[in-house]
Amino acid sequence: MTSAKGEEPAKSLHDQIREDLEAHILSGDWPPGYRVPSELGLAKHYGCSRMTVNKVMTQLAGAGLVLRRRRAGSVVLPQRSQNAVLEIHNVKDEVLAAGGWYSHEILSRRVTDGGVDLSCLHRKDSVPFCFEHRVIALDAVPDARDEPFADQPPGTWLLAHVPWSEAENEITAEAADADSAARLGIAPGAPLLVMTRRTWKNGDLVTEARFVYPGGGHRLRARFTPTPG
C-alpha cells in the first residue's frame, strides 16, 4: 500500500473526470451560464473517447449541475436549489428568497474526534429565524477543520465545497424548551418545526444538521414529480 489509508481504490476514469468538472462548477471557476466545452473537446482534453465524457455529462445533467442542449452545448446551471425533491436545505437562500436581510452568527465551534461540532443562529432582518446545530465529518470534509464560517454559514459553505450523493430529511414538531425559546425569542412551549438533515457522499456521512424554526411563521415546502425522468 502506497497510500496511508488505502482509500483510493483506483478511481475509474469517468469518476476522475466527473470530480474534475464538479470542482470547476462548485468552486465557481465555471459560474452559472458558463459554456462547458463540447464533448469532443473534453474527450480530447482528457485524452479519452467521447463516450466516456458523454457518461460524465449525463451524470452532471442528472444532478442538475448543467443543462445540455443539442447544438447549443452545455451550460452551467444557476445554484443547486431546486432539485425534483425537498430542495437541499439552505437557510441563507431561504431568507434571501423571502426578500429578507440575512445574517448569521457562530455560537459555538468545537473540533471533536473526527468531526467539527457547530451551533449557529440564523437571522432574518436581525430577528432570530433558525437555530442550527451541525456536525461535519472531517474525513469527508478536511477543509472544515480550519474554516471559521464567518463569510458563509456552514450549510452554504458546504454546498459550495462538497458534492453529495444522498440526503435524508426528518421533520417533527416539538414544544420549545426554555433554551430553544430563549435563543429564538419565543415563549416556552410554543411549537417548533424541527428538521434533521443527513447528507452522504458515496455512502460516507458528510454532515448531520438539526434546524429549529419557530413553528408559527415558517413552512417547509417540497415540490416533486413521480417519475425520475
Residues that bind DNA (CB under 7 A): 9, 12-15, 36, 38-41, 47-52, 54-55, 57-58, 61, 68-74
Contacted by 84, from its own copies, DNA, none: CB < 5 to 8 Å by type: its own copies
Return the SS3 of 16. Answer: helix
Q: Closest approach of Cβ 161 to its own copies, in Å? A: 15
Distance CA 142, CA 18 (A): 20
- Rounded to whole angstroms, the Cα distance separating 131 from 96 reads 17
**Which stretch, 82-90, 109-117, 125-133, 139-147, contacts its own copies (CB under 8 A)?**
82-90
Handedness of CA 80, 82, 85, 90 (dihedral sign): positive
Rounded-to-integer distance, Cα 98 and Cα 123, Å: 13
219 binds its own copies (CB under 8 A): yes
Query: Does residue 112 touch its own copies according to CB under 8 A?
Result: no
Of 53, 71, 65, the residue nearest 28 (C-alpha): 65
Which residues have C-beta within 8 Å of that of residue 177, sequence separation ≥ 6?
188
Nearer to its own copies, 110 or 223 (CB): 223
Site for its own copies in 178-217 (CB under 8 A): 189-194, 213, 215-216
Minimum gap (Å) between residue 145 Cβ and DNA: 30
Q: Of residues 27, 79, 165, 202, which one binds its own copies by CB under 8 A?
A: 165
Dihedrals phi, psi of 144, to nearest 5 degrees:
-70, -20
Residue 128 interacting with its own copies (CB under 8 A)? no
Residues 6+ apart with CB under 8 A from 29: 23
Residue 75 lies near its own copies (rule: CB under 8 A): no
- Rule CB under 8 A: say whether 170 interacts with its own copies: yes
Q: 185 touches which of DNA, its own copies, none (CB within 5 to 8 A by kind)?
A: none
Amino acid at 53: V
CA–CA gap between residue 152 and residue 26 (Å, rounded) = 15
Judging by DSSP bridges, how do beta strands 73-76 and 35-36 pair with one another?
antiparallel
Of 56 and 144, CB closest to DNA: 56
Give whichever of 57 and 137 is closer to DNA, judged by the CB atom. 57
Report how many residues bind its own copies under the rule CB under 8 A.
44
Pair 134, 197: CB distance under 8 Å: no
Q: Which residues bind its own copies (CB under 8 A)?
A: 59, 62-64, 80, 83-86, 88, 163-175, 189-194, 213, 215-216, 218-229
